[in-house]
Amino acid sequence: MYLITLEGGDGSGKGTATKMVEEILRKEASFTSVDVTAEPRRNHPLGRLAVESVRTGEAGPLQEAGFFAADRLDHSHMWIRPRLAMGSVVISERNVHSSLVYQGIVGDLGLEQVARLNSGAMIPDLTIWLDCDPEVALKRINQGTLRMETMDKTEYFETDVFQNRIRTGFHRLLGGEIAMPDPFNQGTVVGPIMNHGTEGELKTSIRNVLRQFLSTRPSPVNVSMQEVELNLIGRAMNANDGQQTLDVGASPKRDHEDWLQGEAPWRILSNASKIYSEAWSSTDSKLASTVPKGAMSESVFSIVGTLSMVSSVDVRKLRSTLGPVRTVSHRHTQRMIQFLDGQQGWIRRHRTIMGREAPRSELRADWQAFGRLALLLAPLRPKLQEWYRRSGSAPRWKDSLSQILKEGGESVISDAKLCIERFNVIGSGLSNRSNSPTNLDEFRRWFRGD
**Residues 118-171 pLDDT 10s:** 999 999 999 999 998 766 666 666 665 434 443 444 444 555 777 788 889 999
Q: What is the pLDDT of residues 361-392, one digit of tens each?
A: 888 888 999 999 999 999 999 999 999 988 87
Q: What is the pLDDT of residues 36-51, one digit of tens each?
A: 999 999 999 998 888 8
- Averaged pLDDT, 93-115: 92
pTM of the model: 0.85
Considering the domain architecture, whether residues 309 and 191 belong to the same structural domain is answered as: no
Q: What is the pLDDT of residues 324-338, one digit of tens each?
A: 999 888 899 989 988
CATH number of the domain bearing residue 208: 3.40.50.300
Task: Please check whether residue 404 lies inside any domain of the structure.
Answer: yes
- What is the total residue count of the chain? 450
Mean pLDDT of the chain: 86
* Domain assignment of residue 163, given as a range: 2-215
Q: Are 126 and 213 in contact (CB under 8 A)?
A: yes
Domain boundary among 215, 241, 271: 215
Considering the domain architecture, whether residues 313 and 348 belong to the same structural domain is answered as: yes
Considering the domain architecture, whether residues 192 and 308 belong to the same structural domain is answered as: no
Q: What is the pLDDT of residues 407-418, one digit of tens each?
A: 888 999 999 999
Quick one: what percent of the chain has pLDDT higher than 90? 56
Domain boundary among 165, 196, 215: 215
Lowest mean pLDDT: which of 77-91, 248-262, 333-347? 248-262
Considering the domain architecture, whether residues 275 and 418 belong to the same structural domain is answered as: yes
Considering the domain architecture, whether residues 46 and 165 belong to the same structural domain is answered as: yes
Task: Please check whether residue 135 lies inside any domain of the structure.
Answer: yes
Q: Are 266 and 400 in contact (CB under 8 A)?
A: yes
Lowest mean pLDDT: which of 283-287, 302-306, 324-328, 353-357? 353-357
Considering the domain architecture, whether residues 143 and 170 belong to the same structural domain is answered as: yes
